[in-house]
Structure 1
Amino acid sequence: MPHGRFGYGATVTFEPGQVVTRRYWRGGLCTWVQPMRVIADDADGLLLWSPVGSDVARLVDADGRNPHDLPVDELRDPRLTVGAWERYDVLVLMPPQAAYSVWWFFDDGVFAGWYVNLEEPCVRHPGGVDTTDLVLDLVVSPERRWEWKDADEFAERVGHPLYFDRATADGIRAEGERLIGLVEAAEFPFDGTYTDFRPGPDWPAPRLPRDVEAAVRDR
């Protein structure tokens, strides 16, 4: 994802404690907006935190469908809809130039497993980071048992003009398989790093602006 795609220029760095937005785009539509607190921004990548109850906005159409149900160009009158982040507190690492992010899930402070979200390398802007979700994901248990997620949806999107051709899809799966190798070898970031993470006791849950569309106007 080159910087020119979104019109942003020089690299932006973020400070610990800062709240930024993590956004997904597809076909000119913003499909996801999540405000997250910066834990670190260093050689390992951008590390972000969001607890249960914080805001997240997802693209939902007039029939209640979302981009998991249909390609984005088939959604009827889609709008960003704000809800609460549920079930797990989440720590997200976006390594530099990586085509994935790694998520640590915590259930009432106890590490509950990893999630690997395959996505285009992020583009930074002053308010946060933009990427494009690549549909296929991995779920990894604390014991490092893994399984593919959304494989059927991924297969259905191959060949769609707003998604990926066969060669690109093969590359996405190959990156997932490379990460599976790291999981099985218990290599970073699946080596126990951050599994004992604890948030600051006084950190408020990140919130989106009242007008969520305002969070995507700087595209």
Structure 2
Amino acid sequence: MKMKELLLFLSGVLCVSADVLHENIRITGCSESDGEFMYGLDGEEIAYTDFNKQKIIYPQPPFIDPFTYQEGVYELAVGEQQTCKHNLKVDLKAYKNPPMQQDAPSGVMMYTRDEVEFGEKNTLICHVTGFYPAPVNVSWTKNGQKVTGSSINVPYPNKDGTFTQISRLQITPQLGDIYGCAVAHLVLPKPVTKLYEVDSAAQSDPGVGPAVFCGVGLTVGLLGVAAGTFFLIKGNECS
């Protein structure tokens, strides 16, 4: 889908302590047929507007205390969309309808949120960055078959003007499963696909780390005892 796009950025830095800085950003974006209104913090979206459902969505993880913005945020988003689309028409006319920038995704990565344990629920993440314009379309497969139920965040701006989007798929990994993440974008002649295979190497042995650590600690302890005994004997001989 080819579209002309104008994005307006309102961002700031919020200082919460003497030595900790956090980047707080609000984005209003629009095209001739679509729009975006989003709040973000430190590279993560914390709220965005779903203009089809006509409400604010809060994609917050379950481990944080939930919060909402004051009433009227959706109406604010609708009003800013009208302003954005008006400015878009003015700018396109002033700049004589310039060609649109086009950048294919520069990076597609797949990884799991948690360490893999066979039969335990996990989240598979497909991280796509470096593209313009937004958005990308991400589809998933498991063992060659299409799967549904994935989620994707709204496009998040990078400092160079391109975008990042992250798609997530809830999985229960089993040995031998192969998951695929296919990324489609306006510039790509065909989707870019990344694969993730669940194999025996993906499941770490929880006992290896502590065992090695304890073994090293015991060895150092024994060396210390031996050294102490040696110097004690030498001291007695000298006296």
**TM-score in terms of structure 2 length:** 0.29
Higher relative contact order (CA 8 A, sep 6+): 1
**TM-score in terms of structure 1 length:** 0.31
Decide which structure has greater helix share.
Answer: 2
| Structure whose alpha-carbon radius of gyration is higher | 2
